Structure 1
Amino acid sequence: MTMHALSTPEDAKALRENRARIAGRLVGRERELELTLAAVAAGRDIVLEGPPGTSKTTILRAITEEWGIPLLFVEGNADLTPAKLVGHHNPARVLREDYSPENFVPGPLLEAMQQGGFLYIEEFNRAPEDTLNTLLTAMADRSITVPRVGRIEAQPTFRVIASMNPYDNVGTTRLSTSVHDRLNRLAVDYQSTADEERIVALRSGASGALGERMIGDAVAVTRATRSHPDVCQGSSVRGAIDTVLVAGRLAELRGVDAPDAEGYPELFYDAMIVALSGRIHLDEAAETTAEAVLREIWEDRFVLEPHKAAPG
């Protein structure tokens, strides 16, 4: 199927089949998948804007696996220079052979262009301006000229995918109008409680009455970190997954084998401290600690409203 545009009914049918197969690899995210797939199938580059742990990478990996193309990761930061993005000549070979196309080592941008892959730049708005300008050329022309190497033409499936975290502006730069003009945009927020519980169950492997309670409690307290007044950014679903995994091992160590066992509440609090305390970011004006915030969330769940946490 041509990924530039849909010109025939056969192309449209193939795209719908793509969507159905990819959706089978995801938990929820039907709308986000459909919109992202529509954009990249139309030949467009896109920025996915949302907090960490909201399935952005999962969606992209599923699409590239379905298309049979690579997904190349780059972290946007001050060290991401144009040379690191484009590539460089091997210094040892240059000394022996002088500069030549044969001793050029492609960077992730050229690899993605030559292999027709997705170049996925996380924390896009942390990259230096001259690096973004290099990307603009590749996005606008679908080609790039490298000194002493020549012109590199992108394969038809080459895309630039960027991600940004709207809750984190420390160390970021404001993107220019020309950058925004080259990118489509999709906001990707946290999933529903039910979807997050399905994700945690799938990733943790927890089962049985005890496992089911841990999953429900972990998702509830993790979601509570996102709305606590002293927290500027709460934990993603990864925190809930780790809470269940740690709690499961603690249960084995302490001999807790039932959801209504006497030691379960304190066991769960200890798992929260390990799994969540490093994942929540407190407001700069908050005069508290991550541990105190988590204790408050735990008390809301297990002390003030114990019926919400009770099994069944």
Structure 2
Amino acid sequence: MNDMELISKVQQDRLNRSFLNEEKRLIGDGGYLAPSAELWNDLLVTASLKKNILLIGPSGSGKTKLADSISAFFQQPIQVVNCSVDLDSEALLGFKTIVKADDQLIIDFIEGPVVKAMKNGHILYIDEINMAKPDTLSILNSVLDYRRMLVNPFTGKTIIAHSDFLVIAAINEGYIGTTPMNEALANRFISFSIPYIQSDMLRELLIGKFPHVSTRLVDSFISFSQDLMKQVQNGLLSDEASSIRSLEDAIELAQFMDPIRAITYAIAEKLRDEMERDLVIQLAKTWM
């Protein structure tokens, strides 16, 4: 092996190590507690079959953590798309840019999450898919159906999805800024309802995440959370009031400040309606 071949091999080894480190970094940490063993098992079966998965549930019910846990279970890197009305094809597929190579300016294509996931066999997680404009999502039609391919409009190249490629999307129905999913798009998914976890499972989650918090405080927050969920069901509070994510934030703050103030900052102040904010504080005072 001559010097140039040796240098080339060293460079390739470095690129391979860099790629493997990046792959490892993109694998989820897990930690989702499913409300039933059947739900978790059915999700894993669906993922194994490489069916597109749609997670339907309120804000803070753990949809993102669930996708993260599927990534951890299969040790499969995950690429994330956070949808909004401003999402465009470049945010999905990538973009062209000018780079300098060998003292020359050349046009290079920087791959976006969809292209990376398809080519490398990653999970593509599309969060709040119903916040994106239908015209933007139409780019993914051929990716999500039996063809599992894409003609990249920026390069003209055809991309055939890796055999491990998997799509998981999440929606929060009725959330401000969202629109009903296009029927043709919805038909490309297997749908799962993701409810909030409650009772013993919620206790297990909170004690596992905050082992130094007193059992008494955890129980108070669980009772408070159950009251919030009842008021959501009664139509007196919006879904985000009973978010498990917000509840976790409140408990974490409550380790260092008065629990009522912690609930005010982490839950009540997020609500737009003054009457809802007042109701949350009243319920908190009942249990804290």
TM-score by shorter chain over 0.5: yes
Q: Residue 264 of structure 2: which of 251, 261, 273 is its match?
A: 273
Per the alignment, residue 74 of structure 1 pairs with 81
- 2:52 touches 2:168 (CA, 8 Å); kept in 1? yes
Per the alignment, residue 128 of structure 1 pairs with 133
Per the alignment, residue 173 of structure 1 pairs with 179
The answer to whether structure 1 residue 237 and structure 2 residue 248 are counterparts is no
Per the alignment, residue 202 of structure 1 pairs with 208
- Give 1:214 shift: 0.7
1-side partners of 2:244 and 2:128: how far apart?
Answer: 19
Per the alignment, residue 213 of structure 1 pairs with 216
Amino acid of the structure 2 residue aligned with 1:216: D
Q: Residue 275 of structure 2: which of 288, 298, 304 is its match?
A: 288
- Give 1:200 shift: 1.2
2-side partners of 1:177 and 1:216: how far apart?
Answer: 43
Counting aligned pairs with the same residue, the percent is: 22
Per the alignment, residue 51 of structure 1 pairs with 58
- 2:58 touches 2:172 (CA, 8 Å); kept in 1? yes
Q: Residue 60 of structure 1: which of 67, 71, 89 is its match?
A: 67
2-side partners of 1:216 and 1:279: how far apart?
Answer: 23
SS of 2:125 mapped into structure 1? strand
- Give 1:245 shift: 2.0
Amino acid of the structure 1 residue aligned with 2:222: V
Q: Which moved more, 1:42-51 or 1:225-234?
A: 225-234
Amino acid of the structure 1 residue aligned with 2:218: I
- Give 1:289 shift: 5.1
SS of 1:144 mapped into structure 2? strand
The equivalences for 1:1-312 within 5 A come to 25-29=31-35, 30-92=37-99, 99=107, 103-140=108-145, 141-147=147-153, 148-168=155-175, 170-207=176-213, 211-228=214-231, 229-233=235-239, 234-250=241-257, 267-280=258-271, 282=273, 288=275, 290=277, 292-301=278-287
TM-score w.r.t. the length of structure 2 is 0.79
Cα deviations by residue, 1:25-82 (Å, 9 ceiling, x for unpaired): 5434422211211111112101100012223222322222232321111111111112
- 1:70 touches 1:115 (CA, 8 Å); kept in 2? no
Alignment CA distance shift 1:93-1:49 (3 Å) = farther
2-side partners of 1:122 and 1:25: how far apart?
Answer: 18
Amino acid of the structure 2 residue aligned with 1:191: I
Cα deviations by residue, 1:117-174 (Å, 9 ceiling, x for unpaired): 1111111101111221111121122111124351111111112211011241x22222
- Give 1:279 shift: 4.1
Alignment CA distance shift 1:175-1:240 (3 Å) = closer
SS of 1:231 mapped into structure 2? coil
Amino acid of the structure 2 residue aligned with 1:142: R
- 2:142 touches 2:148 (CA, 8 Å); kept in 1? yes
Unaligned runs of 5+ in 2: 1-27
- 2:173 touches 2:180 (CA, 8 Å); kept in 1? no
2-side partners of 1:183 and 1:272: how far apart?
Answer: 37
- Size of the alignment, in residue pairs? 251
Q: Which moved more, 1:80-89 or 1:62-71?
A: 62-71
Q: CA RMSD in A?
A: 2.4
Alignment CA distance shift 1:97-1:193 (3 Å) = same
Amino acid of the structure 1 residue aligned with 2:196: Y
TM-score w.r.t. the length of structure 1 is 0.73
Unaligned runs of 5+ in 1: 1-21, 251-266, 303-312
